[in-house]
Amino acid sequence: MTVRFVAQGRATEVIVTHEGIASAPVRDRHELGWQGCLEGLASYLQDEPELG
């Protein structure tokens, strides 16, 4: 698994690549899990005061 953070102006794009998953159903469950985690992170960070 790799996670990349790419600057997009004042935002950051997070790219998660999860390899070696055995089947499409397992991949789909992982995809849903990662989407939920990243959406939760985005929501949390939206509520935080800006740094700097």
Please write the tens of the pLDDT for every residue from 3-51: 999 999 988 898 989 999 999 999 999 999 999 998 998 899 888 777 6
- The pLDDT assigned to 33 comes to 95
Q: Sign of the CA dihedral 29, 32, 36, 41?
A: positive
- The pLDDT assigned to 24 comes to 95
The residue among 19, 14, 20 whose CA lies nearest residue 37 is 14
- The pLDDT assigned to 51 comes to 62
- The pLDDT assigned to 42 comes to 87
Please write the tens of the pLDDT for every residue from 37-49: 989 988 998 887 7
